[in-house]
Chains A and B, each alone.
Chain A
Amino acid sequence: MGSAHSVPAEMRELADRTGFTSEQIEHLHRRFKQLSQDQLTIRKENFDSIPDLEFNPIRGKIVHAFFDKRNLRQESDGLADEINFEDFLTIMSYFRPIEMNMDEEQLERFRKEKLKFLFHMYDSDHDGKITLQEYRNVVEELLSGNPHLEKESARSIADGAMMEAASICVGQMGPDQVYEGITFEDFLKMWQGIDIETKMHVRFLNVDTIAHCY
């Protein structure tokens, strides 16, 4: 006896583009409003209001990723100052769980996108390569909470990991060869065969808010 629930056209377009259902978009919209304090855009400072996030050692990188124009699929480079809800959803879509009805090609694309997101997190100067220094920065950030761990230890962890990466990507290196940095193709090679899709998603529970007539 009720009227049909009319989904606004833009919501449907968002749903198609990002792959979220309209319910999930509504939840995220509410969350966005909460974070932005009812403004239309979010800035970096708005992420300070999340206590759970404070514990995260790579908090800076995660927040940075939201404003990274490469992740926002914009042509230009660099950082945005503020993002609107559409951008928020775009970033969130990197963490969408895989669906049952995806075919091979879609899965491959999905995986590549997730890895690209991760790659951008490491590659802070946007030159398309993860250099030793950049990797060291990430390790230091991860270990920043422990005052007992000296810089040297962090450095050696980074060096060790970098060497392993080099051996996977380039094979045996000559004594005068310098490994410049991990490119995205090398990055993909490292992760071949390892199932990351299940580790890199946020799964929504099936919640139905009341008084909806579909």
Chain B
Amino acid sequence: MEVAWALGQAGAVWLAAVLGLIVVPSALGISLGISEAYMWVLVKTLEWATIRLQKSAKKPQPPRIPTANGIIERDETPMEKEIALLHGADFEFSHIFYFCRKGFEAIVEDEVTQRFSSEELLSWNLLTRTNVNFHYISLKLTVVWVIGVVVRYCFLLPLRFSLAAIGITSMIVGTTLVGQLPNCSVKNYLSEVVHLTCSRILVRALSGTIHYHNKENRPQKGGICVANHTSPIDAIILTNDGCYAMVGQVHGGLMGIIQRATVKACPHVWFERSEIKDRHLVTKRLREHVADKSKLPILIFPEGTCINNTSVMMFKKGSFEIGGTIYPVAIKYDPQFGDAFWNSSKYNIVSYLLRIMTSWAIVCNVWYLPPMVRKEDEDAVQFANRVRSAIAHQGGLTELPWDGGLKRAKVKDTFKEEQQKNYSKMLVRNGSVGSLSAETESD
């Protein structure tokens, strides 16, 4: 009995501490500085670890090149120039060289599949999962690592888990309560309060440190907010600072409960699975939402899938055909403290969340970019590319013209034919064909 009572006491104290130190301040939007102190200690520890690693390496380290940009040196000269250099402009065996080399480069490493695996770090961050080859280096480092494991799994994980539970429960309860009210401005205000509070609690549950830049460009009502996608957490990161109307598919389970509860309080746009396939229906609903200027801005991730935060892939043009003002947002995570990328082919959502909760922290930068509208002479695809460039430029990410869907599907034939047409056009233009077909009368 004594033991049970003591445990009960401990549990109560714990809960009180969590509520008092974390939940209440986040509800009020103030910070007690605990997270900052934690981050400071963390940064100092990781710096120390890096210095120790460098000292113990006997060979002087050559300057590090971020592996996110590739392991082989690529020659970026365009195809025409390179082939022209090879052996005059005549078609000969030499053309084979160019394609052979490109083929081998693609086999050694291609730009696309490397975006679907986690970014490699420049220096170890004391998590086993990021250490590709674990070597025993020094006693001190190992001790620090063990302490790190204990702290992360025995202290941080339960803390974060309880916070997440509190956050999700209050979101469901809060929005259901608010949803009972009749539609009025008080309801909207309360719904915003509830959403913000719960987001803040959930961000604390991940030990998230978010830096928002250019807050004056924050998305306004009746607009569409567009961001690059790295993980399911992106939505929480953004709702920490403002209220959005989410767009998505209806799920079952816990996610479904959350969706049903929140839609009562705030007009989120949830689609049934069957509706998602009908593009016109989707566009129509979104257009109606955007037309109503009193409704919250919609949040969309046009890439359609999670990319590893080193690049921005093709934006699907659907979101850009709706009209209205687009507010681009760039999100860049710092992988040193924890990898936020969800590799859905490798981990399911539960193991992903577990990994996130046992990382050191989630640190990211969010830039709000100035609003953009589609120009008269632009079509949806060009507009999408323009927005994508702005986001990539701000976040320091590379731009890839590839479709994120390549994670699971193969390259479309139309793409392939484009390329091949280019080559044969160039060949023919160089006059090597002589006087054969009509197209060759050139130069």
Q: Tell me if A205 counts as interface (CB < 8 A to partner B).
A: yes
**B113, A95: Cβ atoms closer than 8 Å:** no
Residues of A within 8 A of B112 (CB): 51-52
CA distance A49 to B112 in the complex (A): 10
Closest to A206 in B: B62
Residues of A within 8 A of B402 (CB): 51
Q: Tell me if A81 counts as interface (CB < 8 A to partner B).
A: no
Rounded to whole Å, the gap between the CB of B15 and the closest CB of chain A is: 40
Closest to B63 in A: A206
**A27, B71: Cβ atoms closer than 8 Å:** yes
**B57, A213: Cβ atoms closer than 8 Å:** yes
Rounded to whole Å, the gap between the CB of A55 and the closest CB of chain B is: 4
Q: Tell me if A194 counts as interface (CB < 8 A to partner B).
A: yes
Rounded to whole Å, the gap between the CB of B205 and the closest CB of chain A is: 29
Q: Tell me if A107 counts as interface (CB < 8 A to partner B).
A: no
Closest to B424 in A: A146
Residues of B within 8 A of A58 (CB): 96, 99-100, 103
Q: Which of A156-179 contact B (CB under 8 A)?
A: 156-157, 160-161, 164
**B121, A210: Cβ atoms closer than 8 Å:** yes
Residues of A within 8 A of B87 (CB): 194
**B109, A31: Cβ atoms closer than 8 Å:** yes
Rounded to whole Å, the gap between the CB of A41 and the closest CB of chain B is: 16
Q: Which of A131-159 contact B (CB under 8 A)?
A: 138-139, 142-146, 148-150, 152-153, 156-157
Stretch from B299-307, B322-330, B434-442 contacting the other chain: B434-442
Q: How large is the interface on A (under 10, 10 to 19, 20 to 34, 35 or more residues)?
A: 35 or more
**B92, A57: Cβ atoms closer than 8 Å:** no
**A156, B109: Cβ atoms closer than 8 Å:** no
Q: Tell me if B97 counts as interface (CB < 8 A to partner A).
A: yes
CB-CB under 8 A for A139 and B103, given A1-B137, A55-B416, A149-B428: no
Residues of B within 8 A of A194 (CB): 87
Q: Which of B400-414 contact A (CB under 8 A)?
A: 402, 406, 410-411
Rounded to whole Å, the gap between the CB of A90 and the closest CB of chain B is: 13
Stretch from B26-34, B128-136, B146-154, B289-297 contacting the other chain: B128-136
Q: Which of B19-71 contact A (CB under 8 A)?
A: 53, 56-59, 61-62, 64-65, 67, 70-71
CB-CB under 8 A for A53 and B110, given A205-B65, A205-B73: yes
Q: Which of A179-213 contact B (CB under 8 A)?
A: 190, 194, 196, 199-213
Q: Tell me if B123 counts as interface (CB < 8 A to partner A).
A: yes
**B439, A199: Cβ atoms closer than 8 Å:** no
**A143, B96: Cβ atoms closer than 8 Å:** no
CA distance A196 to B96 in the complex (A): 12
**A146, B124: Cβ atoms closer than 8 Å:** no
Residues of A within 8 A of B135 (CB): 2-3, 5, 211-213
Q: Tell me if A54 counts as interface (CB < 8 A to partner B).
A: yes
A-B contact count (CB 8 A): 204
Contact of A95 among B86, B104, B421, B436 (CB under 8 A): B104
**A213, B58: Cβ atoms closer than 8 Å:** yes
**A164, B92: Cβ atoms closer than 8 Å:** yes
Q: Tell me if A72 counts as interface (CB < 8 A to partner B).
A: no
Residues of A within 8 A of B432 (CB): 157, 160
Residues of B within 8 A of A15 (CB): none
Closest to B435 in A: A156
CA distance A208 to B112 in the complex (A): 22
Q: Tell me if A106 counts as interface (CB < 8 A to partner B).
A: no
**A143, B439: Cβ atoms closer than 8 Å:** no
**B111, A156: Cβ atoms closer than 8 Å:** no
CB-CB under 8 A for A190 and B433, given A47-B107, A207-B67, A214-B59: no
CB-CB under 8 A for A92 and B122, given A201-B101, A203-B73, A209-B132: no
Q: Tell me if A100 counts as interface (CB < 8 A to partner B).
A: no
**A156, B92: Cβ atoms closer than 8 Å:** no
1/0 per residue, CB under 8 A from B, across A53-73: the answer is 111111100100000000000
Contact of A55 among B73, B410, B419 (CB under 8 A): B419
Contact of B101 among A51, A54, A200, A208 (CB under 8 A): A200
Residues of A within 8 A of B103 (CB): 53, 56, 58-59, 62
Q: Tell me if A50 counts as interface (CB < 8 A to partner B).
A: yes
**B420, A138: Cβ atoms closer than 8 Å:** no
CA distance A161 to B433 in the complex (A): 10
1/0 per residue, CB under 8 A from B, across A106-131: the answer is 00000000000010011000000000
Closest to A54 in B: B411
Q: Which of B62, B112, B122, B427 has the most CB of A within 10 A?
A: B427
Q: Tell me if A28 counts as interface (CB < 8 A to partner B).
A: yes
Residues of B within 8 A of A138 (CB): 96
CA distance A73 to B119 in the complex (A): 37
**A213, B56: Cβ atoms closer than 8 Å:** yes
CA distance A148 to B67 in the complex (A): 42
24 A-B pairs in the complex with CB atoms less than 8 angstroms apart = A2-B58, A5-B135, A31-B107, A51-B113, A54-B416, A55-B419, A56-B99, A58-B103, A118-B100, A121-B96, A139-B91, A142-B99, A143-B420, A145-B421, A145-B423, A146-B424, A148-B439, A149-B428, A149-B437, A150-B437, A161-B90, A161-B91, A207-B67, A210-B121
Chain B residues close to A by CB (< 8 Å): 53, 56-59, 61-62, 64-65, 67, 70-73, 86-87, 90-93, 95-113, 117, 120-124, 131-138, 402, 406, 410-411, 415-417, 419-421, 423-425, 427-428, 432-434, 436-437, 439-440
Query: With contacts A51-B402, A204-B71 known, what are 4 further pairs, Cβ within 8 A?
Result: A53-B107, A57-B420, A58-B103, A206-B65
